[in-house]
Structure 1
Amino acid sequence: MKILFIVPSYKPAYIYGGPIVVIARLAERLVQLGHEVTVYTTTANGKTELDVTPGKTVMVDGVAVKYFKRITKDHTHVSPALYRATWKTVKQYDVVHIHSWWNLLVLGATLACRLRGVKPVLSPHGMFCDYVLTANNSKKKQLIHNLIGKRLLPGTFLHVSSHMEWQESIRYNPKWKEEGGMVFNLVDLPGKDYARKDNHVFTISFLSRIDPKKGLEILLYALARVQFPYRLRIAGSGEADYVRKLELLAKELGIEQHIEWAGWKGPEEKFPFFAESDLFVLTSLNENFAIVVIESLYVGTPVLISNNVGLSRYVDDNKLGWITGIEDIDEVAKQLTVTYHDREERQRISQQARTVINHDFNETKLAMDYVELYEEVKG
């Protein structure tokens, strides 16, 4: 099968976070299954450009990638060259898979598909969630939807990675109830064992981008109300002013002595970091998927996550951790206390989680599920 991915940015533009990794893993696994995957993307790398030759196809880990020059340096990623290439070649592919939404790059590519009579698969990667719509340029997004989006969305086939994303997305195009499907994101798991240990002090971990969206303030306020000994290890990086704000909050709450700022953890460091923890906590305001949840469970560390995390239903259905609301700090503190005292349940999860994750997140199996979804689009 000849498959075209259209995405605003592609690796090595890791500055854009998790979606870059997820999209690349899928493209690479599809190639390993014998499919021909081409990626149309831009030279975007934040406010700078990747050091690549625009318009030239290069092989990136087995995937044919063509980086097109963009004429804007912001999140709109406008690229007339990519639009022209899409128009000329889109009918040469069996399936077109478009990633993201709300930027002019993707809207233009979707319009080109529409005019050429091609129905693409659309993976919004959480772009239809309430948090994204209200936190960033909500009026602009509503205008874009009314002028362009609501006319383009019915001509696409929806792909989502969680039940939460499904419910959020179909509000924007009810037609997707009949023309859409859910397949988990691929997660890069190392295939090795990590030794777990009993910590003298109950050790809670956080690993992600340090950003207001991640709900760290909520976690700090909740920990200030618990009555058990703990250590909180925060791994990640963020804006210096915001990190300093969190440090000051911890001091005001009188809990700074319980907190370790562990810095950023790369691929080789994060799994041992998870394995050294008794509990991973993510009290995010919104997460479309949250790869870190799967990574933590893979090494046997139970999770406590907010009901705004896309994988919350999966965790609850498979009894792999605890779910909490975040509107009431006392509820979060209560759930933290429950996890601390339920040592037997934490041990059970530690023993069983990896088997569940290995089954549900087998990359070959998931890639084949994507192929089935593509076949459905082809009809």
Structure 2
Amino acid sequence: MRLLQVTGTLDPAYGGPCVVLNELTRSVTDLGHAVDVVTLDPPSAPWLTDVCGNPRAFGPARGKYGYSPSLRLWLEQHAPGYDAVIVHGIWQYQSRAVRAACRKTGVPYFLFVHGALDPWFEQRYPVKHAKKAAYWRLFEHRNLRDARAVLYTCEEERLLARTSFRPYRAREAIVTVGIEAPTGEPTQQREAFLAAYPHLRDKRILLFLGRLHPKKGADLLITAFSTVCQRDESLHLVVAGPDESGTAAQLQAQAKSVGVDDRVTWTGMLSGDAKWGAYRAADAFVLTSHSENFGIVIAEALACGLPVLISDKVNIWREIDSGGAGLVEPDTVAGATSLLDRWLSLPDGERAGMRERAKTCFLDNFEASAAALVFVTAIAGAIGKTEAA
């Protein structure tokens, strides 16, 4: 098959959706299919030099909405050269442009929602939700309705998406998301991280890695950490990830107010060996999110054999729980505290066993080549080209 993926951005600072697209492009290409990528990033964006799919950039687009009339014109001209178009994300122009072009040309398109229909956003941002509800009725519901399939990464995401807006009509499909196991030598990666943060040597590290956004629940983690950290003087919290809307300053002020600012390290966004080294150096990975569609960082942690301590609002919590690859609690202060208490109370042998089960959970559920095969099979079946899967 020849596939086209369309996205608003490939900037890794925007987290999981960019990683999903890049991993799909790489893994589906490895299966023998042709995959091209179109983005609304400016052509000069530095991150475009390090991605697959020979990305064609139509930016800079106008405003946060990402309006780009040239994108729609290009799609109308070139979409017929593809078996299917896959658009990533809603609430921005690319989903409208893909629908319009594909309806005009008769090319089937598929829509990845990437967790954007989680009802948590209505609870947290009611005014913004009201604005989105109006946009939904005018435009967005049609983008889902007319897609050959709306792609969800797990059953939990699909069920939650049905509850957020009306009208909701969609042909739904669940496709697995995966990543390649990290390459490189683990000891060298661990050393690369510790060389950058030498004060963390001999510390027992709890790692949070991801965008600093209110939905990630890092405030719950800091409060919980302040409660349990006296149990072990070597315990240290590492918060790694790009800041969003001043969240980092708020969290740093919180850490100071609860008296743990000297036991929290803020690294900013990590990449390459330093990122993988953070996973290698950690005792456990913690993500107490209020809303998490998939959590690429969880797959990354599992790939490194790192147990994950997560909230039950991470949509893949059932896979983690059933695989014995971590611990799960509600997205509350009490839940976050229980996660850390339970982890610290585990015997050494049980923690070691959980590390082994983390690797198995990754291979069974989140490995890239297996995920790509599920994706290709779903696309091929939906467009009547099962022989191409």
Q: TM-score, normalised by structure 2?
A: 0.84
Q: Which has the higher contact order (CA 8 A, sep 6+)?
A: 2
* Partner Cα distance (1:182, 1:205) in 2: 30
SS at match of 1:125: coil
Kindly report which structure 2 residues correspond to 1:1-379, keeping only aligned pairs within 5 A, or say none.
1-10=1-10, 13-42=11-40, 44=41, 49-51=42-44, 63-72=53-62, 74-133=63-122, 135=125, 137-156=128-147, 157-171=149-163, 175-176=169-170, 179-192=171-184, 194=186, 202-226=204-228, 228-229=231-232, 230-238=235-243, 241-327=246-332, 329-343=333-347, 344-379=349-384
What percent identity do the matched residue pairs reach? 26
Q: Given that residues 114 and 152 in structure 1 are in contact (C-alpha distance below 8 angstroms), is that contact kept between their aligned partners in structure 2? A: no
C-alpha displacement at 1:341, in angstroms? 0.6
C-alpha displacement at 1:80, in angstroms? 1.0
Give 2:96's aligned amino acid.
L
Q: Given that residues 206 and 281 in structure 1 are in contact (C-alpha distance below 8 angstroms), is that contact kept between their aligned partners in structure 2? A: yes
* Partner Cα distance (2:345, 2:325) in 1: 16
1:214-244 CA distances to partner (integer Å, 9 max, x unpaired)? Answer: 2111111122223522221222232595333
* Partner Cα distance (1:353, 1:190) in 2: 14
C-alpha displacement at 1:251, in angstroms? 2.1
Question: What are structure 1's unaligned runs of at least 5 residues?
Answer: 53-57
* Partner Cα distance (1:70, 1:235) in 2: 28
Match of 2:198 in 1: none
Computed over aligned residues only, the root mean square deviation of the Cα atoms, in angstroms, reads 2.7
Give the aligned length: 362
Q: Given that residues 13 and 242 in structure 2 are in contact (C-alpha distance below 8 angstroms), is that contact kept between their aligned partners in structure 1? A: no
Give 1:130's aligned amino acid.
P
Give 1:306's aligned amino acid.
S
Q: TM-score, normalised by structure 1?
A: 0.86
Q: Given that residues 217 and 287 in structure 2 are in contact (C-alpha distance below 8 angstroms), is that contact kept between their aligned partners in structure 1? A: yes
* Partner Cα distance (2:344, 2:52) in 1: 46
1:266-318 CA distances to partner (integer Å, 9 max, x unpaired)? Answer: 12112221122211111112121111111112222211111111221221121
* Partner Cα distance (2:267, 2:140) in 1: 42
Question: What are structure 2's unaligned runs of at least 5 residues?
Answer: 192-200, 385-389
SS at match of 1:39: strand
